[in-house]
């Protein structure tokens, strides 16, 4: 089976908790596809970086820490309006952290089949990266529009993969036909928007939820983080909580995942 790891900021560290439980149970993984925070988790696991605290330490910098203290994405949106900048943060420090983590490794060198999903900012197309520098592919997949600048890649401008499919089920299916999707989304907001910009952001989130729901229908098993309360994208103090939640959700559905993992390619495509 392959895993499709969705985006969700700090909630993405739950993916490493899920993978740790599957590894402990001896569940074979035939491929990893990731979008945004899921791209970081997929690449980190594939290249042997399995400790969430070490991964976090490698890429977390002061500028992102300041954004974390600023609060939710809605708060950042008001700051963005006031500053009138094309993006709030520079990606250089995050890129340097990713370079330290992955070095010169390339996607095609991954010990596990690995797919990193991004989006073309100008065309809206989904872009699945299978070749090229790991650090740059992850940076592109994590480039939240308005927060980080788009990443140039072979004539395209790439941004956060969540723009086109929050949980990259189809990219995972291209690696192996049977897929476990891990959705680390927050529940939908209950409060109405307070400004026109917040209304626009909520509309975008609603659209992404709809696209995500369509993608999840194609997964064989869906693990939902289902946090006990909304966890802001940049609330890095919640890292231990989300990691433990990932482990808990994986254990709750372990028998289903194990059954799926026993399916072989020859069972899916029998000879006629």
Sorted by where each begins, the domain ranges of the chain are 2-265
CA distance 200 to 206: 10
- The pLDDT profile of the chain, 272 residues, written as one tens digit per residue, is 999 999 998 999 999 999 999 999 999 999 999 999 999 999 999 999 999 999 988 877 545 555 555 445 555 555 455 445 555 556 677 888 899 999 999 999 999 999 999 999 999 999 999 999 999 999 999 998 877 889 999 999 999 999 999 999 999 999 999 999 999 998 887 778 777 766 776 777 777 888 888 899 999 999 999 999 989 888 888 999 999 999 999 999 999 999 999 876 656 655 55
Dihedral angle of Cα 175, 178, 180, 181, to the nearest 10 degrees: 60
> In this structure, are strands 31-35 and 156-160 parallel, antiparallel, or unpaired?
unpaired
CA distance 15 to 184: 8
Q: CA nearest 22: which of 259, 258, 262?
A: 258
CA 210 to chain CA centroid, Å, is: 17
Dihedral angle of Cα 87, 161, 235, 61, to the nearest 10 degrees: -60
Please report the pLDDT score of residue 137 as a whole number.
98
Please report the pLDDT score of residue 117 as a whole number.
98
Which CATH number is 2-265 given?
Answer: 3.40.1090.10
> In this structure, are strands 114-120 and 31-35 parallel, antiparallel, or unpaired?
parallel
Number of CB atoms found within 10 A of residue 81's CB: 12
Contact yes or no for 158/143 (Cβ under 8 A): yes
CA distance 153 to 33: 19
Catalytic residues: 36, 160
Please report the pLDDT score of residue 61 as a whole number.
55
Please report the pLDDT score of residue 62 as a whole number.
46
């Amino acid at each position: 089976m392959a895993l499709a790891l969705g985006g969700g900021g700090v909630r993405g560290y739950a993916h490493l908790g899920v993978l740790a439980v599957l590894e402990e149970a001896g569940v074979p993984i035939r491929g990893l596809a990731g979008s945004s925070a899921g791209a970081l988790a997929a690449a980190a696991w594939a290249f042997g970086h399995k400790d969430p605290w070490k991964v976090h330490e490698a890429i977390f910098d002061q500028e992102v820490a300041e954004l974390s203290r600023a609060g939710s994405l809605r708060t950042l949106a008001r700051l963005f309006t006031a500053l009138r900048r094309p993006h709030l943060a520079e990606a250089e420090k995050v890129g340097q952290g990713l370079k330290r983590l992955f070095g010169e490794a390339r996607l095609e060198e991954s010990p596990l089949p690995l797919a990193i999903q991004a989006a073309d900012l100008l065309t809206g197309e989904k872009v699945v990266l299978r070749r090229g520098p790991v650090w740059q592919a992850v940076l592109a997949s994590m480039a939240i529009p308005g927060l980080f600048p788009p990443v140039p890649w072979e004539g395209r401008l790439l941004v956060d993969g969540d723009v086109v499919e929050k949980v990259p089920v189809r990219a995972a299916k291209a690696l192996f036909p049977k897929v476990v999707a891990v959705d680390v989304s927050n529940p939908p907001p209950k409060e109405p928007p307070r400004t026109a910009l917040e209304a626009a952001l909520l509309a975008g989130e609603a659209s992404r939820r709809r696209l995500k729901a369509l993608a999840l229908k194609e997964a064989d098993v869906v693990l939902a983080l289902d946090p006990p309360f909304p966890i802001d994208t940049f609330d890095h103090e919640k890292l231990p909580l989300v990691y433990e939640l990932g482990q808990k959700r994986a254990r709750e559905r372990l028998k289903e995942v194990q059954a799926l993992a026993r399916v072989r390619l020859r069972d899916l495509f029998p000879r006629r």
